[in-house]
Chains A and B, each alone.
Chain A
């Protein structure tokens, strides 16, 4: 008993330490109108206005342009010398699902088992995470937060980085189903524990294990198809017995009818081809994650219009003899090959704020600058079917807006104002609070 209460005490202490006073505070009420005037406005989807105005009301952009009229009573943000961008969108992270990677009690990324189609990221999003205000204060307003592990990892959620509750944060959920295409385990790669795998040719046993997993996955999806067919049949015909509810299969419905995208992690040629075939067979709305070997299958990917979410650009080359700038230049190579790509921070949730530098570095290594900017704004929205909601500064879109003192992707640029869902959001975060508290310490 004593032990138990001690454990509870410790847990409480950790909770208190982890979840402190990071609540975002809305400076205006949703009904208010905001106008940013005389600013450089980069709409991304259309022309850049060197001197223009953007007007926001009830959470939406209601006017944008060189001569947009400012409604009376609007809160005016003088934008001279500043630049207005749409908020950035990070299309692969675990933000909200994890606080401190090494502290298990704060990590809700990975459920047990291989098939978790009914696990919903939104459920585990912690609105009070200290990581969220840090991420948004660098201009990221929306992320796709993704469950991890297994073969079907679960349902990712698009969340805006402001809100008291998960519902307030939710943009679109499910944003995608996350699936990891089974691959051959080589053994010994990447880990620091050595291990005895042969790096060049995987063993027969390893190949067979992969094939079995692929078969299992197909069976699972077929079972879901049958289940949904039987369910529909039973709904139409009372004489057909109703099957017991299977939540795991039920959860696959929106993805098997192509309503929501399926984000499949696939690196090698074999996995990419496997993912393409899977998408064909089950009519999936496929988005590839990773796709490092995409150039080897570029024609097929292009023919099927499959877009790619790039993992961290700031990454090491894959092989010892790969070009040193392999990951830096990948976006440019894909772009040249006619593939559609967007960026993600893809590493630990605390690094979401680095998203602009992934895109910027891709531009340093050959991607046109406009493409880099689109890759963190408009393209993510288009790829995941959110382009009526976010991704550019257009009338009618949700007002996720960033006001900067310079180029959005540059290291030294500072964010001056941040608007999410039409509300001005505080830029203060755990870092600025600790800075203010200690900087002049005697």
Chain B
């Protein structure tokens, strides 16, 4: 009850402030890389109540007197980046105990205090697709959040986000490169087994639908049938087969990609997005014909056997074949510099600057069916922007500001100003702790952790430094 009244109070407050006056933000006189309609030199963007209402040459855009104005002179503006494959801000990533776990939901384990949210904002990221891990052939259901650092989890969710599920093929689900201590080996152990695991789950999902259809039909005829047993896993499988849940499938080798294309076609559905897709360039015509898009690790290779034939030309080759390609991070480190990852792609093949930018903006937005809201700087879309102190594809540039729905979530100037304050606060807290004269507590034994595998361990690719043996 209390909750409801708080809610009502908030709504009435919003009504008072929000509707009384439009919230406007004007970014003035910048180079605007729209990711959809070319680049505007000396352009301005007007955001009203979170949505872009004007993008044009600076002299053609006027804001109200109360608008917050950001001087973009010498700056470059891009859409906020979209990561189609992230494991950021999740309390856990893999429910790998079974080979099919379509019932689990990443939405239930979102951690909005993960510092990586802020670090990625500082790199221009604004929306992430939080994927289940790749420990099993069919993993859990994924989630989409906007990186609204400091806001409650509910405000990070997008109501329009589609339901998606993680599949995984190859070395990870067959557990080629690792074993979990104390856990027996489990099926599948080969690519043959991975295919049959998925086929069996599809088959069961189809039967589940048939049972419920029969039940509903009997009920409609006025009979009094017993309802089938509810099964959350099979319910998800059934929804996948009905096209209500999009498949995002972790894959490396061309043969396993072909397997999944054939298998889904056998069941009358399509793969929405191939994830990683390191050998996608080998079977581009087939991927294009199937209608799948591809989200890739741009230039990682050789960290495991199935990555040995990965090439940095992958994005260009697949784009040339008409496939919607995005670059993803799969890493808290890489997710902070999508502008660099996209910039590198200019070197491999003949992508234009706009095509390279689309790899980290409009294309991932399409893959998660949110391109009507995000992914480019166009009128009607969300005011999600990254502002750079130079050309975003130059190694010498970096973001200085990141906005989500017109609100500033990262400002480098403020960040630097706050550092001394934070250092002082930390020091004060430590001093306070020391002076508190807390009686020595008996040493407690550490809690027992159930081993879980990080995605990096699964991929045998320890990203830059942190867990690297010296």
Residues of chain A at the chain B interface (Cβ within 8 Å): 17-18, 99-103, 110, 130-131, 134, 148-149, 180, 188, 190-198, 265, 289-290, 311-312, 314-317, 320-321, 323-325, 327-328, 346-350, 356-357, 360-361, 363-365, 369, 407, 409-414, 430-432, 434-435, 438-439, 441-442
Residue numbers in B under 8 Å from A290 (CB-CB):
470
**Chain A residues with CB below 8 A from B446, complex form:** 188, 195-198
Query: B39 contacts the other chain (Cβ, under 8 Å)?
Result: no
Verify A410–B394 contact, CB threshold 8 A: yes
One digit per residue, 1 when the CB lies within 8 angstroms of any chain A CB and 0 when it does not, for chain B 427-455 equals 00000000000000000011111111110
Point out the residue from B281, B344, B457 that lies within 8 Å of A192, measured CB to CB: B457
A192-B452, A431-B348 known; 10 new pairs, CB 8 Å cut-off, are A100-B303, A130-B302, A130-B308, A180-B470, A195-B449, A316-B466, A323-B415, A361-B395, A409-B396, A435-B281
Distance A137 CA – B424 CA, assembled complex (angstroms)? 47
B residues contacting A by CB (< 8 A) are: 115, 118-119, 122, 171, 176-177, 281-282, 284-285, 300-305, 307-309, 311-313, 316-317, 320, 332-333, 336-337, 340, 343-344, 346-349, 393-398, 415, 419, 422, 426, 445-454, 456-457, 460-470
B347, B451, B466: the one within 8 Å of A193 (CB) = B451
Tell me the complex Cα distance, A411–B308, Å: 23
Known pairs A100-B308, A102-B305, A192-B452; A438 contacts B281 (CB<8 A): yes
14 A/B residue pairs, CB under 8 Å, sorted by A: A100-B305, A180-B470, A190-B466, A196-B445, A315-B464, A316-B333, A320-B115, A321-B115, A323-B415, A348-B462, A363-B395, A434-B282, A439-B313, A441-B284
| Contact yes or no, A409 B304, CB < 8 A | no
Does A312 lie within 8 Å of B461, measured CB to CB?
no
Contact, CB under 8 Å: A316 / B302? no
Tell me the interface secondary structure of chain B in the complex.
loop
Q: In the complex the two chains form, what is the Cα distance from A423 to B467 in whole Å?
A: 39
Looking across the interface, which residue of chain A has its beta carbon closest to that of B422? A321
A434 touches B309 (CB 8 A): yes
Which 4 A/B pairs are nearest by Cβ-Cβ distance? A196-B446, A194-B449, A192-B454, A360-B395
Chain A's nearest CB lies how many Å from the CB of B345? 8
**CA separation between A190 and B462, bound complex, in Å?**
10
| Bound complex: CA A432 to CA B347 (Å) | 12
Interface SS, A side = loop
Give the one of B316, B456, B470 with max A CB within 10 A: B470
Given contacts A411-B340, A435-B281, A435-B317, A149 and B302 within 8 Å (CB-CB): no
A360 contact set on B, CB distance < 8 A? 395-396
Whether the Cβ atoms of A350 and B304 lie closer than 8 Å is no
For the complex formed, measure the closest distance between the CB of B42 and the CB atoms of chain A, giving whole angstroms: 23
Q: Are A101 and B340 in contact (CB under 8 A)?
A: no
Contact of A431 among B176, B311, B393 (CB under 8 A): B311
Evaluate contact between B415 and A361: CB separation under 8 angstroms.
no
Question: Do B460 and A101 touch across chains, with their CB atoms under 8 A apart?
Answer: yes
Complex contacts, A196 vs chain B, CB 8 Å: 445-449
Q: Give Cα distance in the complex from A57 to B234, angstroms.
A: 72
- Residues from chain A with a CB closer than 8 A to the CB of B171 are 102
Residues of B within 8 A of A195 (CB): 446, 449
